[in-house]
Amino acid sequence: MPSIGPYTLPNPVVLAPMAGVTDRPFRQLCRQLGAGLVVGEMVSSSPDVRHTRKSQLRLDHTGEPEPIAVQIVGGDPEIMAQGARFNVTNGAQIIDINMGCPAKKVCNKAAGSALLKDEALVKDILQAVVGAVDVPVSLKIRTGWDPDNRNGERIARIAEEAGIVSLAVHGRTRACGYKNTVEYDTIRAIKQSVGIPVFANGDITSARKAFEVMQYTGADGVLIGRAAQGQPWIFREVAHYLATGEELPAPQLQEVEQILLSHLDALYEFYGDFLGVRIARKHVSWYLQYQNSDGDFRSRFNRLEGSTEQQHAVRQFFKDTIRKKELAA
């Protein structure tokens, strides 16, 4: 099994950090459903935003199993080093540096994947962060800035020389966003160019696909992001397949209902009723996209203003869906 510093993962299947998605309730759920490691939402290294409600929620790791992995983002070596030290003081046991986010609001601040343009700055940031903390530091990158500037292999070697202990590679350039074909060839070349663990990321949507990507690229593990939205049980499916070569059956509707309701409870508890209800809407939409639900239910659900109403609506939806399935059998 791959290791990140002193931490040997129970399996090589990792929840990728996603802003607005991988909050504490979702991280805990994914761990319960088989993720070998979960990484929190990226947090800015800037002290100016450290004490906002948004940052405070992202920094809350109460009750999470070790190791606690926190992703930081920024473009200034000293501020990044300070941010790393702050998060370690706050309980982080792994610091992950974001140089993979393609979002314009991040790249316009010369952070995320925008940093790939400046290899000297990348080196300075990595050395500053590694030198600032006594916990392992990992790095998330893309294959390059755009299709004409794929420098992922050079960045990987810079990272290894700077003391980065593991690397996650999203197999697209910054310019590609989430479009175009994932460059598994490039991930394989990056893996062959370094001696540290490499995790493949990008369009890994099933257990079989995870196996094929690991076989083809030689990657030590996989990061799963968007494919976990609405089906967090994908982690146990992938981990089981990698360990046994057997595909687990899809969860029964009754289990999906139980998982969704427990997720909603965790959201209400973590955020409070007002915010929890609003955040629940997108998660319910993701779950139901796999249940052949009609747009009418989602539209009605999104107008509900209370947690009790939301829970009742979900129970009624699954009751009706299970009844229809039984009648059709």
Residue whose tokens read 């994908």: 234
Residues placed in the known binding site? 17-19, 71, 140, 170, 201-203, 225-226
Q: Measured in whole angstroms, how far is the alpha carbon of residue 238 from the centre of its chain?
A: 15
What DSSP state is assigned to residue 41? P
125 close to 155: Cβ distance less than 8 angstroms: no
CB neighbours (10 Å) of residue 324?
Answer: 11
Residues placed in the known binding site for FMN? 17-19, 71, 140, 170, 201-203, 225-226
Q: Which of 30, 101, 107, 176 is catalytic?
A: 101
- In angstroms, the CA 234 to CA 238 distance is 6
DSSP string, 144-179: -SBTTB--HHHHHHHHHHHT--EEEEESS-TTTTT-
Helix (H, G, I), strand (E, B) or coil at 268: helix
Token pair, residue 179, equals 């479009």
Residue 181 phi, psi (nearest 5): -75, 140
Strands 198-201 and 166-170: parallel
- In angstroms, the CA 298 to CA 304 distance is 10
DSSP string, 74-113: -S-HHHHHHHHHHHHHTT-SEEEEEE----HHHHTTT-GG
Torsion of CA 120, 123, 124, 129, to 10 degrees: 160
The set of residues, in sequence order, having a beta carbon less than 8 Å from that of 288 and lying 6+ positions away, is: 230, 297, 298, 317
Concerning whether 176 is annotated as a catalytic residue, the answer is: no
Task: Tell how many helices (H) and how many strands (E) occur in the chain.
Answer: 13, 11
For residue 70, the surrounding DSSP H or E stretch is strand 69-73
What DSSP state is assigned to residue 116? G
Residues marked as catalytic:
101
